[in-house]
Every structure is written in structure tokens, then in C-alpha cells.
């Protein structure tokens, strides 16, 4: 069944900045606001962008209430998560999912935001957007035209169909396992996908294309998480896999090389035997440049041509 596609944003619309996860460094807030305003949006700044509770952007109750309120408010046209970090999973039981389902709107972010993408796709039934975020990538000098174009097109052309998700020129995708497959695009950060297992918010990958990326995880931990997904039956359920960036995901033991496996060895040993099409080196994740992904839309991966096409 097709998911609801939120209404495209246009200049003059009102966008809410919130954090369902980590606290925003104070020096990054104003540049983040200005970056979103330069896109032509009116900005409403949530209290969570200015609040800190240890490593969290305020209490669980505050973060959940603010997210509920932004979806319920008809004056808010879109919601951008200002940053990731940690904490989105803690507020899932406090979200009014029925209300959110009845008020779909552009929702963008990535990393820890993966927990919300899974729930909004599966339990609220609308497409969400895996994108860079205002207090991190938006204010970096390295935020490039490719990344901006993908972000803007994602949130302003939500109805687009039959377009390709392409790496930046000169950065080729790589085939791990050959074949073609079509399915709903799902996933995001590997750590958050794995953390959903055994909860009421567990990812359902039946017949889907799984996208995965991560940062600051050693190869042994990636091995453990992929193995957990395998043992839970999740990898056998999906019809294809897209592997994004694995930023600073190096060996556990840097002093004794023979104590390590490479990331490619882990992919070859755990993923390749699934005998489903797998594309790697896709420019998406904790990296610049990065593409934006429409989670919940139908995509086709073709490992012969090394293409990913949005088809519905």
C-alpha cells in the first residue's frame, strides 16, 4: 500500500525547528535559523532547540509534547529536526500517533531521527525525508550545491516520481551482490534500526529495500548489529539493500591488523549470502556531500547499471 505523500513546502511556508534527541550547542542555533530562513521559510523555533537536560534537548515529556504540538498545529507546514544525537527512542511511547497520522507534513532529519522515520512510515503511514540537518550540515562551510539541491528538491517536490538517486559525479556506486529489486525504501542509521528490535516500534522490512549507514562504530560492532538483524529475520525479509557512508567506522584494534576484519569482509560474509541485490558506496549518511532520501517511497535498484530510481 502506498504511503501518504506530505504536501510540498514552498517559499513563505512555516517550518518548525525541533530536537527530539540531543541538545543544540547554543552557538549553532542562530546560524541554523538563518540557514533555514535563507531557503525562504518562516521559522518557528521550538523550546527544545534552547533547552538542555544533560545530553538531551530537555525532558522526554517536553520533547514529546513539542513534536505532538508541531504536528497538531495547522500553521506549521513542515518540521525539520535541528540535529540528531540521542533520545528519540525515549519519547516514542509519548507520541500521539493517531493525531500525527491525521496531520502528515514534511518531516526531515537523519541519524537518531531514524527512530521517528520508522514509526511515522509504518504506524502513521506517510513518507518522511532522510536529510542533513540545520545545526550540523546546514552551517558547515562544506555544505555543497549537490547536498543543497537534494535537500531542497526532497522537501519542495514531494510529489516527484520516476527520478534517480545519483551519487555526485565521479563517485561511483559499487555492486556487492547482483540483481534488480523494487520495494518501499526503509531504514536509516544502523544503530537505530537495530535498537528498534523487540519493541512495539520494530522495523518491518518485509518486501522492502533497506538503507543503512552509520558513524563512529568499529567494524566489530557493525558485525554484531548486522548479525542481530540477520538472526531476527530482518535481512531475510527485505528484497534489496543500499549501503551508504560508514564514517569513521574503522577497525577495533588498530595496532594488530590480524585481529581485524575489514568492513567489506563483514558485508561479504553477512550480507552477500542473502542473494539479494546490494549496492554500496551510496553518497548518503554522516558525510558531505550527501543525498536526501524519501523514506516510504517505492524505489528500484539495478546493480547492473548501478542505479537507484524512485518509481512511486
3-state secondary structure of 302: strand
Lookup: cell for 256: 594488530
Give the Cα-Cα-Cα angle 124, 186, 205 (nearest 5 degrees): 90
Active site residues: 111, 213, 286
The b-or-e profile of 131-145 (16+ CB within 10 A means b, else e) is bbbbbbbbbeeebee
Q: Which of 159, 136, 162 lies closest to 147 in space, CA to CA? A: 136
**pTM score, two decimals?**
0.97
- Residue 242 pairs in a beta bridge with 211, 279
**Alpha-carbon dihedral sign for residues 104, 107, 113, 118:** positive
3-state secondary structure of 104: coil
**Are the C-beta atoms of 108 and 129 separated by less than 8 Å?**
yes
| Residue-by-residue pLDDT tens, the chain, 312 positions | 689 999 999 999 999 999 999 999 999 999 999 999 999 999 999 999 999 999 999 999 999 999 999 999 999 999 999 999 999 999 999 999 999 999 999 999 999 999 999 999 999 999 999 999 999 999 988 789 999 999 999 999 999 889 999 999 999 999 999 999 999 999 999 999 999 999 999 999 999 999 999 999 999 999 999 999 999 999 999 999 999 999 999 998 777 887 889 999 999 999 999 999 999 999 999 999 999 999 999 999 999 999 999 998
Amino acid at each position: 500500500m502506498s504511503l501518504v505523500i506530505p504536501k510540498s513546502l514552498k517559499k513563505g511556508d512555516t517550518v518548525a525547528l525541533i530536537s527530539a534527541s540531543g541538545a543544540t550547542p547554543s552557538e549553532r542555533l542562530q546560524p541554523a535559523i538563518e540557514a533555514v530562513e535563507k531557503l525562504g521559510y518562516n521559522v518557528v523555533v521550538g523550546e527544545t532547540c534552547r533547552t538542555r537536560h544533560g545530553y538531551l534537548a530537555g525532558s522526554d515529556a517536553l520533547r514529546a509534547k513539542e513534536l505532538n504540538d508541531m504536528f497538531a498545529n495547522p500553521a506549521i507546514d513542515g518540521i525539520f529536526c535541528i540535529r540528531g544525537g540521542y533520545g528519540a527512542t525515549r519519547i516514542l511511547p509519548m507520541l500521539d500517533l493517531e493525531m500525527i497520522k491525521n496531520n502528515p507534513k514534511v518531516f526531515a532529519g537523519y541519524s537518531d531521527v531514524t527512530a521517528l522515520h520508522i514509526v511515522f512510515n509504518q504506524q502513521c503511514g506517510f513518507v518522511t525525508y532522510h536529510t542533513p540537518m540545520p545545526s550540523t550540515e546546514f552551517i558547515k562551510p562544506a555544505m555543497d550545491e549537490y547536498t543543497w539541491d537534494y535537500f531542497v528538491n526532497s522537501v519542495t517536490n514531494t510529489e516527484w516520481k520516476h527520478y534517480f538517486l545519483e551519487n555526485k559525479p565521479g563517485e561511483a556506486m559499487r555492486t556487492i551482490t547482483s540483481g534488480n529489486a523494487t520495494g518501499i525504501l526503509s531504514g536509516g542509521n544502523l544503530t537505530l534500526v537495530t535498537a528498534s528490535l523487540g519493541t512495539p516500534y520494530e522495523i518491518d522490512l518485509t518486501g522492502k529495500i533497506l538503507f543503512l549507514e552509520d558513524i563512529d562504530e568499529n567494524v566489530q560492532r557493525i558485525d554484531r548489529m548486522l548479525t542481530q538483524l540477520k538472526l531476527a529475520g530482518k535481512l531475510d525479509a527485505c528484497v534489496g539493500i543500499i549501503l551508504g557512508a560508514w564514517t569513521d567506522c574503522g577497525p577495533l584494534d588498530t595496532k594488530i591488523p590480524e585481529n581485524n576484519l575489514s568492513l567489506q569482509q563483514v558485508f561479504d560474509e553477512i550480507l552477500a549470502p542473502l542473494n539479494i541485490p546490494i549496492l554500496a558506496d551510496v553518497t548518503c549518511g554522516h558525510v558531505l556531500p550527501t543525498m536526501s532520501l524519501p523514506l516510504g517511497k517505492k524505489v528500484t535498484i539495478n546493480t547492473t547499471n548501478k542505479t537507484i530510481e524512485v518509481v512511486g
